Amino acid sequence: MTRVLSVASECAPLVKTGGLADVVGALPGAMAALGDELRTLIPGYSAVPIGGRVVAKFDDLFGGPATVEAMDHAGLDLLILRAEHLFDRSGGLYIDAFGADWPDNPQRFAALSYAAAHIAANGLGDWQPDLIHGHDWQAGLVPEYLAQMGCDTPFILTVHNVAFHGNTDAEAMESLRLDPARFHAHHYEFWGQISALKAGLMGAAQITTVSQTYAEELMTPHFGMGMDGVLRHRRHDLTGIVNGIDTEVWDPATDPEIKPYTTLKGKAANKAALQAEFELPKAPGPLGVLVSRLTDQKGIDLLLDSLHVLLERGGQLAVLGSGDPSLEVALLERADREPNLAVKIGYDEALSHRMMAGGDSILVPSRFEPCGLTQLYGLRYGTIPLVALTGGLADTVINASPAALARKVATGVQFSPITAEALANAFGRLCDLYADRKVWTALQRNAMKQPVGWDTSALAYHKLYEATASNA
């Protein structure tokens, strides 16, 4: 058994902005089945329930008093960092009500990293972690604080999205309690700035990311977002482990948000209900669904430029998401002109389940996608993924090529290069496949048979935990 302190800025079902929270929330249960014990440290945002047992105190944690509370919630063994001056505020987890980053984000998540290092160095009663598993830049400063505290607990960093570095000016060194002697290329210095992600990448005993293809992409200038050189330097300690999904929460046979089904015949009722909910008419083509942040990274601009092919072939699209205001407006204005396009701005977890159950195809046209969970939900529900050939999308969807169709292993449609023209061609292929009911039904059945849970990935993490802890 390995005792692991998992450190993250969000965790489902308590606080969530994306797939990171789902992974952090699902990992403890998956690892418990293999005998590993995870306790998850997250910030005490205003949305996080109160009432835990205080297990650590700080008189001054980056500007004010703080405590760590232990709490069991939704099957999770949680440690909540309560610091009102840092986390108890209205607005988003990372941004204010106007969409701007909180100016003290460097201090907020430095505090999270500092608390994690403190727990590793001092323990919590009779519990002390064998290693720390941090997620993204918000946990990146853990190795710096471990070094200051003289603690040799090993640190594993998982990169969910390398685009976010947690950079701040070098002048913040003192306020972040960083050792100025370590402000150089082998620790946390990055082009003259402090970089929390760089600190984590350089200080980690092992680095993981969320798919094998993304691990390879990260070492290239195009996908590495400036960190490709660092990751090439650490390439022998970099592993790709694809994410899984919670197959109890996402199960078409028991999902309370839908009309449950175990056969494809039952899926039709969910499609009709979804069309009614989005006020879409019946149509001869496939009903595409998109549940996404509305950003260029997610390929929404490409979708707008190629959508006419799907609509001209009798298809439809239902969209749920929010993001770039210009893309939100473009989608809404397009929906006003197109009877077979419906858009809801915002996020609704229950509606996302209904969309997954009622859609014929889930669209994920991302320019880059480290792993992606949406396509895994689609596979689970027999909703055929149409995806860009990148990152985890490449690793989890088997393209409906002639060879894959002949071998009866295809599960979706991939397109490359990642352009509007290629996406338009993919819409044409999707409609052709949908028109052949025998082929389409085979695709759906193949999709629903795919292993999308945590079993394989949890075993990979278990082995990594074991090896890292034993080599410390």
**Residue ranges covered by each domain of the chain:** 3-244+455-470, 264-449
pLDDT value at residue 312? 98
CATH class of 3-244+455-470: alpha beta
Q: What is the pLDDT of residue 283?
A: 97
| Residue 57: exposure state from Cβ atoms within 10 A (0-12, 13-18, ≥19) | exposed
Q: Is 298 part of any known ligand binding site?
A: no
Work out the burial of residue 122: count CB atoms within 10 Å of its CB; fewer than 13 is exposed, 13-18 middle, 19 or more buried. exposed
8 Å CB contact between 203 and 187:
yes
> Looking at residue 375, what DSSP letter applies?
H
The reported pTM is: 0.92
pLDDT tens-digit series, residues 19-39: 899 999 999 999 999 999 999
- What's residue 171's pLDDT? 97
Angle at 184 between CA 183 and CA 185, to 5 degrees: 140
Q: Could you check whether 3-244+455-470 and 264-449 share the same CATH topology?
A: yes
Q: In the prediction, which pLDDT does 3 show?
A: 98
Look up the CATH architecture of domain 264-449: 3-Layer(aba) Sandwich (3.40)
What residues of the chain score a pLDDT lower than 50? none
Q: How many CB atoms lie within 10 A of CB 293?
A: 16
Nearest to 139 by CA among 117, 171, 124: 117
pLDDT for the residue numbered 107: 98
pLDDT for 326 equals 97
